[in-house]
Amino acid sequence: MLSARSLFHEIHQDDDAFGLFCSIAAKGEDQGGWENGRIALLVEDQVLAPKIARHGADEEKHGRIFNALLRKRGLHPVAVPDETDYTMILERQGIGLAHARLRRDEKLGERDVITYLVHSRVTEQRASEQMRLLRGVFGHHPELGRAVRMISDDEDNHLAYCHEELLRLAAAGHGRLIWRTLQETAHAEIRTYRDVSLAVMARMGEILHWPRAKRAALAAGIHGVYGYEKLGGWRRMTSLRMPDRLGAMDGPPVPEPAE
């Protein structure tokens, strides 16, 4: 029987599959760390800037954690296929702030900040859900448990602060722009998540020698998730509510566990 638990355990038990999984995750986190670090330098709101900087520090920490998990297995990062690069595929669709924009030493305006926060609100929704899934599978695992729990807590904090900051900006008169940008970003994200999921599972199928029927079943499941999200599931990524965790990004980041 196919289940998330059985799939993740199968990936974890194979060095090549686990190496690809951690390499994809580490690259995405490293990209997020660089992006947030640049945005923190370029944003003019000096109350928001340290929160963005902490967000970036968290993402860099997550990248180090995934690389540490590889080292513990005696593995090295592998090249990440372009079709599995979630962050860059979103950027090519015009979602979020482009890397070319962030490389310029030019201050970000309020509209840029909204674009950044909306992008983060949508993608952190996905990250929070994915890490909660992994937490359910590996939360008490002797090798992975502590790392998974830490990253999951961080992603929940990131999502909470995006809600809080966007609600503040909506109250300041930017509600219509925020709502429009949330819708555009969510629709692009669900397509990208579908495509990247299909690409990742195709690669895993090659590595793990899955039979054709198993690959077809997994692809059908991914398309089914996309169908649900296209019909209305995307709305969970666009709603805004005051989070239970207020000030989630205040203070310094929590350091990663020692190897």
Share of the chain above pLDDT 90, in %: 94
Is 60 exceeded by the pLDDT of residue 1? Answer: no
The DSSP result for 25-91, as a single string, is: HHHHHHHHHHHHHHHHHHBS-TTTHHHHHHHHHHHHHHHHHHHHHHHHTT----PPPGGG-HHHHHH
Measured in whole angstroms, how far is the alpha carbon of residue 218 from the centre of its chain? 21
Closest listed residue to residue 91, CA positions, set 48, 28, 151: 28
User: What pLDDT is stored for residue 253 in this prediction?
Assistant: 79
Is 60 exceeded by the pLDDT of residue 97? Answer: yes
Share the mean pLDDT of the chain: 95
Helix (H, G, I), strand (E, B) or coil at 245: coil
CA 56/CA 209 separation, integer angstroms: 37
Q: What is the average pLDDT across 165-185?
A: 97
Is 90 exceeded by the pLDDT of residue 69? Answer: yes
Q: Answer yes or no: are the C-beta atoms of 51 and 250 closer than 8 Å.
A: yes
pLDDT digits 0-9 by tens, 107-166: 999 999 999 999 999 999 999 999 999 999 999 999 999 999 999 999 999 999 999 999
Q: What is the average pLDDT across 3-12?
A: 92
